[in-house]
Amino acid sequence: MHIFKHRILVLCLLFFSSTFVFAQGGKQKELEARRLELSREIQQINVLLSSNQSKKKSQISQIEDLNHKLSVRENLIKVTNQQANLLTREINSNQKQITENRVELTLLKESYAKMLQKAYKNKNKQSRVMFLLSSNNFKQAYKRVQYLNQYADYQKEQADKIKQKTIDLQKANIKLLEQKEVKSNLIAENKIEQKTLQLERMEHEEIMKSIKKDLNKYTAQIKAKQKEAKRIDNEIDKLIRDAITASNKKAGVKTTTKSKSFALTAEAKALAADFLGSKGKLPWPVEKGVIKLRYGKQPSPLDRTLTINSNGVRISTAKGEKVRAVFNGEVMSILKPRRSNPIVMIKHGNYITTYQNLGKIYVKKGDKVTTKQEIGEVFTNPTTGETILKFRIDKDDKTQNPSSWIYKM
């Protein structure tokens, strides 16, 4: 019973140990994937910024770029630190295991040596045959045969254990060296990132000093941009409300108050269900880009007392970048606001995706489009060199956070 309990305890320890190791390995892979993702984003930001260096970008735009860059780099440093800390715990755990394995291997070798020494002495005193012939009866002789066989098996088992333990120890040592090298590389990379972050913060402070000298002027510019954005948002909202009214009228839906949701056909319901099923997996509306402004209410990067309300996201991309439909649907409208660039709106059942600031349009109202189909090209500002796509998602008459819908946004 005591041996049985001991075995159960050993099995439990092995199970929890392997589960812990698996969890650690999974976390390390997750952190590495995130680190590579952030590194790629920084590279992409640098490419976009360098392509616009010859242009005269506004200080507001420079601050927006730097804010995003600082945020991504700070996240990269944080993730790299987490990786290094996790590796430290793994290295310490492996070193402890290696020490325990060495002690166990030493004991196994000592035990095996004593066993061989005893077997050699017994072999000199009497042979196996004489040991069997000296038995008092057949039953005793049979038991002695069993004993000799078991003893031989035990010797072989001990020899195999020593061999396997030696191999395990060699593998653990190799893994430990690899982990130490990875940790060393991560620390070296983090030092470089810390220096770059410090330089970027200094650049940020210099621009902010210049801005603060005439903050009222820049605040007025932001408010003017917000006012213009609100005007265009109102036009988009009206188009959506009109489309809802038209769908209800076509379906013969009678309501005493103005309806806030689309009356859908069976086909439109199926399309909406497919769109919903793709939540978090929709492709980006451009192949390459970084988010300059996220969805929702947020403080201005220049004046923290000023709130910016964004109904979608602003994506900075490369000159000549094509705009893609994020899902199958029908072009609901092509809007051309005054003092602004064209907008394409695509309906997916009771969901609508809106693509603003286009320089070229490849579709017309009523066209059926498919996922990733090119519907236009993002406009590039000739003065600043900036190529910005504004993208939003609505469900009926309610805006949605695109980051919840677009893959890794």
**pLDDT tens-place string over residues 49-107:** 666 555 566 777 888 888 888 989 999 999 999 988 888 888 888 788 778 877 777 77
**Structure confidence at residue 148 (pLDDT):** 61
Nearest to 32 by CA among 172, 195, 192, 182: 182
Look at residue 3 in the predicted model and tell me its pLDDT.
Answer: 44
Residue 244 and residue 113 in one domain? no
Look at residue 10 and tell me if it is in a domain: yes
For residues 161 and 259, membership in a common domain is answered with: no
Of the three residues 162, 196, 212, the one that is the final residue of a domain is 212
Between CA 71 and CA 64 the distance in angstroms is 11
Q: How does pLDDT run across 94-142, given as a tens digit for each residue? A: 788 778 877 777 777 777 677 667 666 655 445 655 555 666 776 776 6
Q: Distance between CA 36 and CA 68 in Å, rounded?
A: 17
Instruction: Mark whether 206 and 249 lie in a shared domain.
Output: no
**223 lies in a domain?**
yes
* CB atoms closer than 10 angstroms to residue 183: 18
Considering the domain architecture, whether residues 251 and 208 belong to the same structural domain is answered as: no
User: Looking at the 3D structure of the chain, how many domains does it have?
Assistant: 2
Does one domain contain both 206 and 219? no
What is the mean pLDDT of the segment spanning 369-385?
94
Domain boundary among 191, 212, 233: 212
Which residue's entry shows tokens 């002027």? 217
Residue 409 lies in a domain: no
Domain assignment of residue 67, yes or no = yes
| Same domain, residue pair 207 and 277 | no
pLDDT band at 169, cuts 50/70/90? confident
One DSSP character per residue, 106-157 reads HHHHHHHHHHHHHHHHHHHHS-HHHHHHT-SSHHHHHHHHHHHHHHHHHHHH
In a domain, 171, yes or no: yes
pLDDT confidence of residue 141: 64
Answer with the one of 174, 195, 212 that is the final residue of a domain. 212
33 with 155, same domain: the answer is yes
Clarify whether residues 65 and 29 are in a common domain: yes
- The Cα–Cα gap between 276 and 146 comes to 70
User: Residue 225 belongs to a domain with what CATH number?
Assistant: 2.70.70.10
- Domain with 385, as residue range(s), is 215-404
Is 232's pLDDT higher than 60?
A: yes
Q: Say whether both 220 and 199 belong to one domain.
A: no
Query: Are both 270 and 249 inside the same structural domain?
Result: yes
Helix (H, G, I), strand (E, B) or coil at 289: coil
130 in the same domain as 49: yes
pTM of the shown model: 0.71
* 288-314 mean pLDDT: 90
What per-residue confidence (pLDDT) applies to 113? 74
C-alpha distances out from residue 31 to 3, 28, 90, 142, Å = 42, 5, 14, 62
Whether residue 320 lies inside any domain: the answer is yes
- Same domain membership, residue 343 and residue 273: yes
